[in-house]
Amino acid sequence: MTMLMRAPTTDTETRYPYLVSSVPAARAVNAVKLYGNAETSVRALDGVNVDFAPGCFTAIMGPSGSGKSTLLHCLAGLDTLTSGSVAIGETILGTLRERQLTRLRRDRVGFIFQAFNLLPTLTAAENITLPLALAGRKPDPDWYDTVVDVVGLRDRLGHRPAELSGGQQQRVAAARALVSRPEIIFADEPTGNLDSRAGGELLAFMRRAVDAFGQTIVMVTHDPVAAAHADRIVFLADGQVVDEMFDPTAERAIDHMKQLGG
């Protein structure tokens, strides 16, 4: 496992690896998303400008209805913007066609939903390797072992989702997102359905993925304790980025949310 760790070269890079890179892992520029028709239209995203640096664990917080899920969906290529643009690495999603978007989701992006992340017919192992199988690729055995061990699911690999607890299911989903080594993982309230212990395990796992493997993660959450695991919090309100915070703690996050009137 140590082999796979990035060897830190400077002190700055050790502490804030994302500050070093010039190309963001994902970026939104003037992102606008309207729902509904002219009269009843909702501005879910109202000119969002945000960068997500590689190797950084970012949390997105904001009141309900502020556009967090919408932003994540648009960034992950699951939805399209009304205007503005989003990019994964140097790829601008608006220019991609359906087939290319699908390939992007499969090869370059990982996604963890709040619930129902797994196919009930497949075992945990099959679920983890599903994106690779769809790409017709074999998982790198070392990396696969590493991921499985980090998630702590080795003795559950042959089980089907119905035989796993909610927390285990979410960890399988996280392993699936990780195993294809995507450039970026999006997670929409991944701990929303978990109790604090299971949630804690999942967050620890994500943190580890970032620290040990340089994985980029963007996570939406309502929970300040969860957000405190991140390197940075982006605050959204009424479809706009209103603030951000580096190296957050739960207390500072709570305070900030209160200021936003959430």
Least distance CB 45 / ligand ATP (angstroms): 8
Q: Which tokens is 162 given? A: 């119905």
Instruction: Please say which residue, 43 or 73, places its beta carbon nearer to another protein.
Output: 73
Q: Of another protein, ligand ATP, Mg ion, none, which one does residue 122 interact with (CB within 5 to 8 Å by kind)?
A: another protein
Instruction: Please say which residue, 126 or 140, places its beta carbon nearer to another protein.
Output: 126
| Amino acid code (one letter) for 257 | M
Least distance CB 51 / another protein (angstroms): 24
Q: In whole angstroms, what is the distance from residue 47 CA to residue 44 CA?
A: 10
- What would the x/- binding string for ligand ATP be over residues 2 to 41, using CB under 6 A? ---------------------------------xx-----
Q: Which tokens is 74 given? A: 């648009």
For 117-150, letters b (16+ CB in 10 Å) and e give bbeeebbbbbbbbbbbeeeeeebeeeebebbbeb
- In the bound state, the residue with its beta carbon closest to Mg ion is 69
Read off φ and ψ for residue 236, nearest 5 degrees: -115, 140
Q: Is the separation of the CB atoms in 176 and 136 below 8 Å?
A: no
Instruction: Name the β-bridge partners of 252.
Output: none
Instruction: Please say which residue, 167 or 239, places its beta carbon nearer to ligand ATP.
Output: 239
- What would the x/- binding string for Mg ion be over residues 51 to 80, using CB under 5 A? ------------------x-----------
Q: Is the separation of the CB atoms in 243 and 82 below 8 Å?
A: no
Q: Which tokens is 128 given? A: 């983890």
Residue from the set 4, 15, 41, 65 that interacts with ligand ATP by CB under 6 A? 65
Q: Of another protein, ligand ATP, Mg ion, none, which one does residue 65 interact with (CB within 5 to 8 Å by kind)?
A: ligand ATP
Q: Which tokens is 39 given? A: 């009269």
Q: Of ligand ATP, another protein, Mg ion, none, which one does residue 35 interact with (CB within 5 to 8 Å by kind)?
A: ligand ATP
Instruction: Name the β-bridge partners of 111.
Output: 186
Instruction: Please say which residue, 70 or 216, places its beta carbon nearer to Mg ion.
Output: 70
- What would the x/- binding string for ligand ATP be over residues 167 to 196, using CB under 6 A? ------------------------------
Least distance CB 198 / ligand ATP (angstroms): 20
Q: Is the separation of the CB atoms in 128 and 152 below 8 Å?
A: no
Which regions of 36-159 does DSSP assign to beta strands (E)?
42-52, 57-61, 83-88, 91-92, 109-112
By CB under 6 A, is residue 44 in contact with ligand ATP? yes
Binding site residues, ligand ATP, CB under 6 A: 35-36, 42, 44, 62, 64-70
